[in-house]
Amino acid sequence: MRDDRFDGREQIGGYRITRRRLLQFCGAMAATLPLPLPYSERIAEALTSAPRPPLVWLEFQDCTGDTESFLRAGNPTIDDLLLQAISLNYHETIMVPAGVASERPLFDTVRSQRGQYICLIEGSIPAGSGGIFCTIRGRTALSIAQEVARDALAVIAVGTCACDGGLAAAAPNPTGALGVRRAIPGLANLVALPGCPANVENITATLVHYLTFGALPACDGEGRPRFAYGDKVHANCERRDHYEHHRFVLEWGDAGHRAGWCLKKMGCKGPDTRHNCPVVKWNQASSWPVGAGHGCVGCATAGFWDRLVPFYVQLSDDA
């Protein structure tokens, strides 16, 4: 087998990456979207030749979980590709500038590249009491989000909090937390990536789809990409065969649990949740919650903090 050090290398932004590694990534993206494998070459061509759209990433009422997920991209790593292939102009957690200087990359991008940048929003946007529950440099999250999103080429709500308010919006919702759609009505170019946190594979695939086709992926009525939220978790679950044969875990640690039986009677919300977790998985596709023995809590379902609790009690007999 040829050593990667002697592979042909491709130019991604200002960075060189082995052709083999690039095609591995493009193949993974084609599978995630999902597209026929030959599209991996088209994706590779787009990444090596298409203009890089500037990105700005806003963080509001959040736990930074979506950023942590994003930074844990493994094929390739963020350092290897994403920060080179995509111009990430502003991100509070990972940018170098601090203090007053930190806002310049954001508003320079907004004002000089109007209609050309992609805005990613993480966290809910509090609207109660004029939005004072989340302020950045003296401005409310609501006013910043409205200004930045208004002129963006596309807006991507990253994670459940940005999509519907998440935990902060659970009753009684003292801050008046909202998702992007309700906080900024009328956005026609909004893509929602719910999940707590959003899976980095879906974040990346959404961006790659735009770079490859010049358009955002097809979405459902809630603005969620069909490639990631078209099927229920139950449809692709590795434990589904046990469900079909009525083999259920009845107690944590029992023989059925150790044997990998269905977790529905332990409160798994996979039959009611649309997400591609069992397909793309987590931690470089090494595992996912149900595969690790924990039931799905339905984190990609709108209002799951209120609608799907208690998490460890079966909600219905329907699959």
CATH at 254: 4.10.480.10
- Same domain for 108 and 71, yes or no, is yes
Condensed to tens digits (0 to 9), the pLDDT of residues 10-25 reads: 554 444 556 677 777 7
The domain boundary, picked from 193, 227, 261, lies at: 227
pLDDT of residue 40: 77
Query: Do both 99 and 120 map to the same domain?
Result: yes
Q: Name residue, tokens 């991996």.
A: 40
Task: Please give the pLDDT value at position 267.
Answer: 96
Residues 83 and 219 in one domain: yes
- For residue 209, the enclosing domain spans 9-227
Give pLDDT, residue 10: 54
Q: Is residue 316 part of a domain?
A: no
Contact present, 200 and 72 (Cβ < 8 Å): yes
What 8-state DSSP symbol labels residue 305? Answer: H
Tally Cβ neighbours within 10 Å of residue 172: 5
Residue 115 · residue 150 · CB < 8 Å: no
State whether 20 and 36 are in the same domain. yes
Whether 108 and 79 share a structural domain: yes
Reported pTM: 0.85
**Sequence-ordered list of residues with C-beta below 8 angstroms from that of 187, at least 6 positions apart, any chain:** 149, 155, 180, 181
Same domain for 97 and 194?
yes
Nearest Cα to Cα of residue 192 among 101, 122, 239, 283: 122
Q: Give the span between the Cα atoms of 232 and 300, in whole angstroms.
A: 11
Rounded CA-CA distance 149/166 in Å is 20
Q: Is residue 2 part of a domain?
A: no
Decide: 71 and 78 in contact? Cβ < 8 Å: yes
CA dist 97 → 5, 38, 91, 103 (Å): 34, 41, 10, 8
Residues 259 and 292 in one domain: yes
In a domain, 3, yes or no: no
> Of 173, 196, 227, which one is at a domain's C-terminal end?
227
Is 200 inside a domain boundary?
A: yes
Asked whether the beta carbons of 191 and 225 are under 8 A apart, the reply is: yes
- Residue 43: what pLDDT? 75
Question: What is the reported pLDDT for 180?
Answer: 98
Last residue of a domain, one of 227, 262, 281: 227
Q: How far apart are CA 133 and CA 130, in angstroms?
A: 8
63-110 tens-digit pLDDT:
999 999 988 877 656 655 555 567 889 999 988 888 888 889 999 999
What is the count of structural domains for the chain?
2
Task: Detail the DSSP E strand segments found in the chain.
Answer: 9-12, 15-18, 54-59, 87-91, 118-122, 125-126, 135-136, 139-140, 154-158, 177-178, 190-193
pLDDT of residue 84: 59
Parts of the chain with a pLDDT under 50: 1-8, 12-15, 319
Residues 56 and 197 in one domain: yes
User: Are 220 and 120 found together in one domain?
Assistant: yes
In the structure encoding, which two tokens stand for residue 14, read together? 């200002």
Residue 1 lies in a domain: no
Residue 316: predicted pLDDT? 66
172 lies in some domain? yes
